Amino acid sequence: QVQLVETGGRLVQTGGSLRLSCAAPGRTFSDYAMGWFRQVPGKEREFVARISWTGTSTDVSDAVQGRFSISRSNALNTVYLQMNRLKPEDTAVYYCAVARQYSELRNKGAIEYWGQGTQVTVSS
């Protein structure tokens, strides 16, 4: 069983910043793309960001373009989501995701492993 451990979620004020981390203790995800989704109650889980296994390709959703960025450290088996200029509509549970193909990572059906989620709350 692969375990993905997300950390960094908390309450923050509008305009603030957070960095989420997702680690895979004892597991190497070389050759895998990694990314982040988020979900609010009553809504579908939505894509936020993805990064290729080399880190040379990245992509974020239109909703967070210009404010969020994704990075990874394969040496540490960790992917990060840097979130700046946070808005109340960014409030959600954020999930780390792993998929074989970068090109497929926007598709929830292609996700092989999910983290347990970390709550981000942005107060207005």
What pLDDT is stored for residue 22 in this prediction? 96
Confidence (pLDDT) at 1: 66
Q: Average pLDDT for residues 29-50, to the nearest whole number?
A: 95
pLDDT over threshold 80, residue 89 = yes
Query: Taking the mean position of all CA atoms in its chain, how far away is CA 14?
Result: 19
The pLDDT of 59-80, averaged and rounded, is 96
Across 55-63, average pLDDT? 97
Please name which of 56, 32, 55 lies closest in space to residue 113, comparing C-alpha atoms. 32
Asked if residues 71 and 80 have their Cβ atoms less than 8 Å apart, the reply is yes
Distance (Å, whole) CA 4 – CA 20: 13
